[in-house]
Amino acid sequence: MKAAVVHAFDRPLSVKDVPVPTPGDGEVLVRIETSGLCHTDIHAAHGDWPVKPAPPFIPGHEGVGIVERLGRGAAGLAEGDRVAVPWLGWACGACEYCASGWETLCESQRNTGYSVNGGFAEYVVASAAFVGRVPVGVDPLDAAPLTCAGVTTYKAVKVSGARSSDLVAVYGIGGLGHLAVQYARIAGAAVVAVDVVDSKLKVAHELGADYVVNAACEDPVAAIKALGGADVAVVTAVSPKPFQQAYASLRRRGRLVFVALPADNHVDIPIFETVLNGITVVGSIVGTRVDLAETFELHARGQTRVIRESRRLEQVNEAIGQVERAEVDARIVFDLR
The residue ranges that bind Zn ion (CB under 5 A) are 38, 40, 91-92, 95, 98, 106, 148
Closest approach, Cβ 5 to Zn ion, in A, equals 19
Closest approach, Cβ 224 to Zn ion, in A, equals 26
Nearer to Zn ion, 279 or 333 (CB): 333
Closest approach, Cβ 176 to Zn ion, in A, equals 8
Nearer to Zn ion, 43 or 190 (CB): 43
Nearer to Zn ion, 38 or 215 (CB): 38
Nearer to Zn ion, 19 or 50 (CB): 50
Nearer to Zn ion, 119 or 220 (CB): 119
DSSP 235-286: E--SSHHHHHHHHHTEEEEEEEEE----SS------HHHHHHTT-EEEE--S
User: Any bridge partners for residue 190, and if so which?
Assistant: 167
Residue 47's identity, in one-letter code, is: G
Closest approach, Cβ 50 to Zn ion, in A, equals 17
Q: Cα 186 vs. chain centroid, distance in angstroms?
A: 18
d(CA 225, CA 222): 5
Do 335 and 311 meet the contact criterion of CB atoms below 8 Å apart? yes
Q: What's the CA dihedral at 315, 318, 323, 328 to 10 degrees?
A: -70
d(CA 216, CA 85): 36
Closest approach, Cβ 106 to Zn ion, in A, equals 3
122 C-beta neighbours (distance < 10 Å), count: 19
